[in-house]
C-alpha cells in the first residue's frame, strides 16, 4: 500500500472545495440522539486548511472550541452523477482530518457553519495520504488523542452512509473535481479542547497489507488575544451548546436534570400510589395534573419517566402530503427516544384512528422508553400488547394515522388528556391513571406521598382489626400518638 507525505496547506496543493458531512458514525449518532435518513453537508473554506503541527487559536471571550477527528476522502478524478456502487472508484486517497469548530458561533450562520467551522487552521489535513487502491473502505480506523490519551477510536465497518454513497450523492448536482476533499463525519468522543492541549488524529488500515497509516496529524491549541468584533455576530453559548460541544452534560460540568430520579427516590415512587401523589398535588393548589381518559393496556404495572412529547393536528389533506409521509415527526419522536422517556402524545382525544402501532411501539421500547401515553387510539392492539412496553390509550381503532391526524411537533409543550405536559415533566402512572409532576416539585411531593402511604397502610390495618375511622382516618389525638410510636419503633 502506498503512503505519500503531502502538505495540503501549500496554496497549489489546496483542494477546490471541502465538503463536510454532519453525521455518519453510529456511535456519534447515538451520542447525539439523532437518526438521519440521508446525508447532510456543509462547506468549509479551503483557507482553513492547516498542516500537522499547526496552532489552532481560540478567540478571546469564547469557550467551546471542539475537535472532531475525521477520515478525509480525496477525489482522484472528476465525478458527475456517478452511482453509489461506483463512488469509491473515484476516491484516490485517504488522509486524516480534524474538523475544528467554535460552538460559540454556531448561532451565527443558520446551519451553514461559515464562521463556526472555517476559521484559519480549522481544517488540518495530513500528514500523509494512503492510496485508495486495494483498500477496503469498510476496514479503516480513526483515532484521536488529547494530550496522549485516546478519546476517539472507531472503524468504518458500519457507517450509516458508505463512502461510495457520499460521492454519488454529492455528484448528483455538483461535479466533484480531482483533488476535492470530503470529510466523512466524526465518531463518538468529540469534545472541547483547552488552550495548551495537543490534539492528534490518525487514520490507518490495520487489516491491509503493511497496515498503512497517515501518521498523526497534530494540532496545538492556543488562547488568542483576538476577540470577535461587535460589527458581526459575537460569541453566544447556552447549556445546550455546552452539552453538545463537550459531548454530555457530565463532561460539560452541567447538572443533569435526570439525576433527580435517584435509586432511593425511584424506590419510594414504586411504593406510592398515583392517587396519593394527586392528593398531595392538590394540597399545593395544583388540580389539573392528571391525564384523563387514557387507560392502561397492561394493567398492574407502574410507569415512571420523563415526558417526551409529540403533538398531532387535525388532518388537512394538503398538510398531510407535506408532513405525514416519510420520516415524519411521529417517526422522529420514536427514533430520538432516550432511556427513561415516556412518550406522551397529544391527539385531542380523537379516538377514530390509531396514533401508535406495533412497529413504533417496538422502536420506542428498543430505544429505552418506559411507556407510551396517547389520548388517541391504538391500532394493531394485540401486536402492541405483545411488544411489552406499557401503553395508555383512549381505546383501539383499526384506521391509520392519516384518517384524522397530521404528525406536527415534538419536544414542545402539549395538552394530553386535558392537562398540560412539558418535555421532561415527570410522568407517573398506575391502574388509577397518570399524573404529571413538575420536576422541581418531585422530591417534596414524593417524600410527603410516601409518608402518607406508610400512614394509610397502618390505618388500614387498624380498621381491618375493628377500629372505627373517627379520629383514625386521618390519625388525630391518641391515634396520632400511637402512629408516631409505631414509626419510632420501626426506626423511621
- pLDDT, tens only, 292-331: 999 999 999 999 999 999 999 999 999 999 999 988 999 9
Provide mean pLDDT across the span 249-255.
Answer: 87
Which pLDDT does position 343 carry in this prediction? Answer: 98
> pTM (2 decimals)?
0.69
Using one digit for the tens of pLDDT, what is the confidence trace for 395-416?
999 999 999 999 999 999 999 9
Q: In the predicted model, is pLDDT for residue 255 greater than 90?
A: no
Report the percent of the chain where pLDDT is more than 90: 86
C-alpha cell of 46?
479551503
Strands 198-204 and 141-146: antiparallel
**Which residues make Cβ contacts (< 8 Å) with residue 245, sequence separation at least 6?**
64, 66, 103, 191, 192, 252
Q: Is 433 helix (H, G, I), strand (E, B) or coil?
A: strand
The pLDDT score that the predictor gives to residue 111 is 78
pLDDT at 492: 62
- Per-residue pLDDT at 257: 84
pLDDT of the residue at 115: 93
CATH number of 288-437: 3.50.30.40
Sign of CA dihedral 309, 313, 315, 318: negative
Is pLDDT at 265 greater than 80 in this prediction?
A: yes
Spell out where 12-122 has E strands.
18-21, 41-44, 49-50, 54-60, 65-67, 69-75, 91-98, 101-102
Is 357 part of any known ligand binding site? Answer: yes
C-alpha cell at position 94: 485517504
- Using only the alpha carbons of the chain, give its radius of gyration: 28
Residue 466 Cα to chain centre, angstroms: 56
Q: What is the pLDDT of residue 158?
A: 94
Q: Strand 405-410 vs strand 65-67: parallel, antiparallel, or unpaired?
A: unpaired
Q: List residues bridging with 342 in a β-sheet.
A: 307, 371
Identify the pLDDT of residue 1. 66
Least confident of 124-128, 254-258, 420-424, 453-457: 254-258
| Three cell numbers written together for 135 | 483498500
Run of H or E including 68 = none
What per-residue confidence (pLDDT) applies to 381?
94
| Residue 380 assigned to a binding site | yes
Among 384-388, 429-433, 462-466, 487-491, which is the least confidently predicted range?
487-491
Residues 6+ apart with CB under 8 A from 489: none
132-173 confidence digits (pLDDT tens) = 999 999 999 999 999 999 999 999 999 999 999 999 999 999
- 109 appears as a binding residue in the annotation: no
Q: DSSP string of 153-199?
A: EEESTT-SS-HHHHHHHHTTTSPBPTT-EEE----TT-EE--TT-EE
Question: Does CATH number 1.25.40.850 belong to domain 3-252?
Answer: no
The domain segmentation of the chain, as residue ranges, is 3-252, 256-284+439-492, 288-437
Predicted pLDDT of residue 440: 94
On whether 359 is known to bind a ligand per the annotation, the reply is yes
Is 358 assigned to a binding site?
A: yes
- What average pLDDT does range 90-109 have in this prediction? 96
Q: What pLDDT was estimated at residue 86?
A: 97
Is 80 exceeded by the pLDDT of residue 491?
A: no
- pLDDT of residue 32 exceeding 90, the answer is no
Band of the pLDDT at 60, cuts 50, 70, 90? Answer: very high
User: Residue 309 to residues 365, 367, 403, 470, 484: CA-CA distances in angstroms?
Assistant: 16, 15, 21, 45, 43
Q: What is the mean pLDDT of the chain?
A: 94
457 within 8 A of 337, measured Cβ to Cβ: no
Contacts 24+ apart (CB under 8 A), 34-38: 34/336, 35/332, 35/335, 35/336, 36/160, 37/326, 37/327, 38/169
Amino acid at each position: 500500500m502506498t503512503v505519500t507525505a503531502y502538505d495540503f496547506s501549500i496554496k497549489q496543493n489546496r483542494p477546490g472545495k471541502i465538503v463536510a458531512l454532519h453525521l455518519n458514525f453510529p456511535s456519534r449518532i447515538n451520542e447525539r440522539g439523532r437518526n438521519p435518513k440521508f446525508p447532510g453537508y456543509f462547506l468549509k473554506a479551503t483557507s482553513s486548511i492547516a498542516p500537522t503541527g499547526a496552532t489552532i487559536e481560540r478567540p478571546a471571550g469564547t469557550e467551546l472550541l471542539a475537535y472532531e477527528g475525521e477520515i478525509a476522502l480525496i477525489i482522484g478524478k472528476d465525478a458527475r452523477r456517478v452511482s453509489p456502487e461506483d463512488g469509491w472508484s473515484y476516491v484516490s486517497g485517504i488522509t486524516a482530518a480534524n474538523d475544528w469548530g467554535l460552538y460559540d458561533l454556531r448561532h451565527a450562520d443558520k446551519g451553514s457553519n461559515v464562521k463556526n467551522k472555517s476559521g484559519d487552521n480549522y481544517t488540518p489535513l495530513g500528514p500523509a495520504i494512503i492510496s485508495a487502491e486495494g483498500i477496503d473502505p469498510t476496514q479503516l480506523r480513526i483515532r484521536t488523542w488529547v494530550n496522549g490519551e485516546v478519546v476517539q477510536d472507531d472503524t468504518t465497518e458500519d457507517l450509516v452512509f458508505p463512502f461510495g454513497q457520499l460521492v454519488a450523492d454529492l455528484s448528483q448536482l455538483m461535479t466533484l473535481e480531482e483533488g476535492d476533499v470530503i470529510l466523512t463525519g466524526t465518531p463518538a468522543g468529540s469534545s472541547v479542547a483547552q488552550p495548551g492541549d495537543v490534539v492528534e488524529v490518525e487514520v490507518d488500515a490495520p487489516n491491509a497489507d503493511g497496515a498503512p497509516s497517515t501518521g498523526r496529524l497534530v494540532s496545538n491549541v492556543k488562547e488568542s488575544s483576538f476577540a470577535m468584533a461587535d460589527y458581526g455576530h459575537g460569541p453566544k453559548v447556552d447549556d445546550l451548546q455546552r452539552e453538545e460541544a463537550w459531548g454530555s452534560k457530565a463532561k460539560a460540568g452541567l447538572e443533569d436534570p435526570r439525576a433527580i430520579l435517584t435509586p432511593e427516590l425511584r424506590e419510594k415512587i414504586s411504593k406510592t400510589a398515583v392517587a396519593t401523589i394527586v392528593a398531595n398535588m392538590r394540597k399545593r393548589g395544583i388540580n389539573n395534573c392528571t391525564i384523563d381518559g387514557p387507560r392502561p393496556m397492561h394493567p398492574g404495572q407502574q410507569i415512571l419517566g420523563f415526558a417526551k412529547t409529540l403533538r398531532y393536528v387535525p388532518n388537512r389533506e394538503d398538510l398531510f402530503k407535506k408532513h405525514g409521509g416519510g420520516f415524519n415527526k411521529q417517526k422522529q419522536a420514536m427514533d430520538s427516544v432516550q432511556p427513561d422517556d415516556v412518550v406522551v402524545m397529544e391527539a385531542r382525544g380523537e379516538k377514530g384512528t390509531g396514533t401508535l402501532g406495533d412497529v413504533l411501539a417496538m422502536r420506542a421500547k428498543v430505544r429505552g422508553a418506559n411507556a407510551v401515553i396517547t389520548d388517541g387510539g391504538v391500532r394493531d392492539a394485540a401486536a402492541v400488547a405483545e411488544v411489552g412496553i406499557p401503553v395508555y390509550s383512549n381505546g383501539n381503532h383499526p384506521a391509520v394515522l392519516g384518517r384524522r391526524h397530521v404528525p406536527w411537533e415534538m419536544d414542545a409543550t402539549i395538552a394530553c388528556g386535558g392537562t398540560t405536559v412539558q418535555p421532561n415533566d415527570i410522568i407517573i402512572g398506575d391502574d388509577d391513571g397518570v399524573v404529571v409532576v413538575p420536576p422541581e416539585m418531585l422530591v417534596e411531593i414524593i417524600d410527603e406521598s410516601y409518608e402518607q402511604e406508610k400512614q394509610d397502610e397502618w390505618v388500614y390495618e387498624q380498621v381491618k382489626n375493628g377500629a372505627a375511622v373517627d379520629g383514625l382516618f386521618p390519625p388525630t389525638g391518641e391515634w396520632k400518638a400511637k402512629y408516631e410510636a409505631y414509626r419510632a419503633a420501626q426506626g423511621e
